[in-house]
Each structure stands twice: as structure tokens, then as C-alpha cells.
Amino acid sequence: MSWTFVRRALLGAAITTIAAVAPVQAQDYPTRPVTIIVPLAAGSGMDSLVRLYADKLQGALGKPVVVENRPGAALMLAASAVATAPADGYTLLVSTSSAMAINPILYKKVNYDHVKDFVPISFYVKSPFILVVNPELPAKTVPDLIKHLKESKSPLSYSSPGAGVAQHLSIEYMKKRFGLDITHVPYKNTPQSIQDIAAGHVQLGFAEAGASLPLIRDGKLRALAVSATTRLPSLPDVPPFAEAAKAPDFEAVSWHMLFAPAATPKPIVERLHKEMKKIMADPEMIKLTEKIGLIPVDSPDVAGIQKYLASEREKWGSLVKQLGLAGTM
């Protein structure tokens, strides 16, 4: 008997065994605690929301759901950890457009395949940005701003928390769409990038809702639009950019999704998708999500999420390349 024959026989037996056991494992799932890895520090808006739904998911699954924070490497440390975790439904990842659509093009080295290593479970919120300007700027609407930018004798400047982050790309997306000339001033963190708009050192930017709302309410920033296609409940009088600029397809948001390793059994993925959809549809969760400055999403099915992901990867990946930023980090 040749070694090739023996090896094929053993491989066939192994595949048969896995096929027989997998449905049982999926049916019994979970039998132990489930861990959700969050790529940001404890206390962030993302972390707060994950802890809220993890508690409800724990009740639905009947086993502990543990939230573990692994910030670092521009959200990629957490993604790398889950990409190599066992595909058994016990290690999940929360991630955003940065790690799943932008960074794989922006960075020279990424230790995971953002397309092949993960399967999406739930697309539950959009994280919009608010187009804010210094109150001294004469523009009070988006058309006013576009007109002012085009007529200004010298380019105005905008801030972001760094080159290649979602806020930077959102302004560049707006520039490209409307033929604008604005100078980018990158900062090392979000608070400083927003505070310098209020101080007049730069004139505008797309800012995170949670960080900019206090300054907007104090009159230190003027909010012109929200980057999502729907209004932000915490700023009901501020229109979506798409509406304000009469550009129906304009949207420049980040988002939060729950992922599992790609080879996770389909019944487990479907169970988690079903439970998350139910949890995030709860009126209490919707209210809490809106309070954080996020927009709840009625998650599509897994195929629908994958379709949305593909469109986001094309949008942001193409823009990163057009800006000459591919592989620069």
C-alpha cells in the first residue's frame, strides 16, 4: 500500500468526521463563553454599545458573552487576532470601515485578508460624521460653503485626526464630488482636530458626533450637515449632506459590524445574526444607540452585508489609490 493512498484515506476520513460533527456543534452552540473583541479602548462609543448588546446576547445564548478590548495598530490588532482564531463562533470581532475597507489599501503590511478571513454577522449601526465649520465662516448651509470654497481667493483648510482616516477621506470624497480645493491639516488625535476648528486655526472638517456635539451645542462650532443619508436623532435640525447638497447618493460614513472567522459554521453565523437583529431592533437599544450619536441599522442578511461591504471597499479603496496614499503607511 503506497503512502499516497494512506494519506488520501486518512484525509477522507477526517473530512467525513468533520462533516458529521459540525452540525452537532452548531446545534449545541454555545457550550462555553463567547468573546467579542473590540478594537478600541474601554469607554469609547463603540465599546459602550458593544457592552450593551453583549449583555442581551448573553441572555439570548444562555452563556457568558465577554467583551475584550484590543486597541492598537489602527484597529488592525484586533482584526489580526480574530482572523487566526478558531472558526467555532466563540471569538467574534467588532470592526469598522477603517479596518475592513481602508487600511488594507492604505498600509503596506496588513496581517489579515479583509475579504477572505471573515464572515459578517451583523451590520447594526452607521457612524456618521458632522460637517462643522468655524462660526466666523459666513457659510450657514452646504450650498453656501461650496460657493464660498469655490470663490475664495486662497484655499481654506480642513482638519482630520490623520491622513487616511475616515474623516480625512470623507472630506476628500466631498472635494472630488464637487470640485473643491481645500488644504488638509492632519492632527494626531480627534479632540485637537475638532478644537482647532472652533479656535479658527482651520475652517472646517467632518467630525465625529460624540466629540463635536458639546461644541456645537455651545455655539463654538456650526453644524451644516450630517454625512449619512438620514438625519442624526441628536441633531434633528441638521440635514443629511445628500439632501442639503442635492446629491442623493452622497454618503460618507463609518459603520460598526460584527464578524466571525470565515470558516465559522453557517448555522452558528445564522443563529448569531438572528439574535443580533432581534436585540438591535429593541426600542431601548435603538434609543441608547442614538444617544451615543450613532444611527441604528436594520441589518440585511449575511449576503446583503457582503454586498454592502464590497461597495464600501470599492468606494474607499479607489479613493485611497486616487489620492496616492496606497501603501504609504
At 306, is the secondary structure helix, strand, or coil? helix
Distance CA 131, CA 142 (A): 9
With contact defined as beta carbons under 8 Å apart, do 315 and 166 qualify? no
**Assigned domain for 19 exists:** no
pLDDT in tens, 275-290: 999 999 999 999 999 9
pLDDT of residue 237: 94
pLDDT in tens, 237-285: 999 999 999 999 899 999 999 999 999 999 999 999 999 999 999 999 9
Distance CA 205, CA 225 (A): 11
Q: What does DSSP say about strands 91-95 and 34-38: parallel, antiparallel, or unpaired?
A: parallel
The crossing angle, in degrees rounded to 10, of helices 283-291 and 45-61 is: 160
Q: What angle do CA 70, 213, 230 make, to 5 degrees?
A: 90
pLDDT band at residue 293 under the 50/70/90 scheme: confident
* DSSP-H helix ranges across the chain: 3-28, 45-61, 76-83, 97, 103-106, 142-151, 166-178, 190-198, 209-217, 241-244, 266-280, 283-291, 302-322
209: CATH: 3.40.190.10
**Assigned domain for 173 exists:** yes
Considering the domain architecture, whether residues 278 and 175 belong to the same structural domain is answered as no
- Which of 182, 215, 244 is a domain's end point? 244
pLDDT of residue 291: 87
pLDDT of residue 313: 96
Considering the domain architecture, whether residues 261 and 119 belong to the same structural domain is answered as yes
With contact defined as beta carbons under 8 Å apart, do 139 and 268 qualify? no
Considering the domain architecture, whether residues 107 and 189 belong to the same structural domain is answered as no
Least confident of 21-35, 65-79, 268-282: 21-35
- Whether residue 102 is predicted with pLDDT greater than 60 in this model: the reply is yes
**Assigned domain for 27 exists:** no
- Whether residue 214 is predicted with pLDDT greater than 60 in this model: the reply is yes
Q: Kindly tell me the burial class for residue 62, based on how many C-beta atoms sit within 10 Å of its own C-beta (0-12, 13-18, 19 or more).
A: exposed
pLDDT of residue 205: 96
Q: Name the phi and psi angles at 126, rounded to 5.
A: -105, 140
pLDDT of residue 25: 57
Considering the domain architecture, whether residues 194 and 259 belong to the same structural domain is answered as no
Share of the chain above pLDDT 90, in %: 81
Considering the domain architecture, whether residues 274 and 227 belong to the same structural domain is answered as no
Average pLDDT rounded to a whole number, residues 137-156 = 94
pLDDT band at residue 18 under the 50/70/90 scheme: very low
Considering the domain architecture, whether residues 84 and 137 belong to the same structural domain is answered as no
Average pLDDT rounded to a whole number, residues 173-199 = 93
Considering the domain architecture, whether residues 182 and 269 belong to the same structural domain is answered as no
Residue with cell 449619512: 228
Domain count across the chain: 2
- Whether residue 15 is predicted with pLDDT greater than 60 in this model: the reply is no
Enclosing domain of residue 190: 129-244
Average pLDDT rounded to a whole number, residues 312-320 = 94
pLDDT of residue 17: 46
Considering the domain architecture, whether residues 143 and 185 belong to the same structural domain is answered as yes
- Which of 244, 270, 287 is a domain's end point? 244
Distance CA 158, CA 275 (A): 41
How does the average pLDDT of the chain come out, rounded? 91
Distance CA 326, CA 164 (A): 9
Distance CA 6, CA 227 (A): 60
For residue 246, the 8-state DSSP code is T
pLDDT band at residue 26 under the 50/70/90 scheme: low
71: CATH: 3.40.190.150
Considering the domain architecture, whether residues 238 and 269 belong to the same structural domain is answered as no
Considering the domain architecture, whether residues 233 and 264 belong to the same structural domain is answered as no
- Which of 221, 244, 267 is a domain's end point? 244
At 60, is the secondary structure helix, strand, or coil? helix
Considering the domain architecture, whether residues 98 and 170 belong to the same structural domain is answered as no
**Assigned domain for 47 exists:** yes
Considering the domain architecture, whether residues 193 and 239 belong to the same structural domain is answered as yes
For residue 1, the 8-state DSSP code is -
pLDDT band at residue 209 under the 50/70/90 scheme: confident
**Assigned domain for 81 exists:** yes
Nearest to 197 by CA among 163, 144, 160: 160
Average pLDDT rounded to a whole number, residues 138-166 = 93
- Whether residue 27 is predicted with pLDDT greater than 80 in this model: the reply is no
Quote the cell numbers at residue 317: 479603496
- Whether residue 155 is predicted with pLDDT greater than 90 in this model: the reply is no
- Whether residue 4 is predicted with pLDDT greater than 60 in this model: the reply is no
Identify the bridge partners of residue 35 per DSSP, sorted by sequence position.
Answer: 66, 91
Quote the cell numbers at residue 21: 460533527
**Assigned domain for 23 exists:** no
**Assigned domain for 13 exists:** no
**Assigned domain for 112 exists:** yes
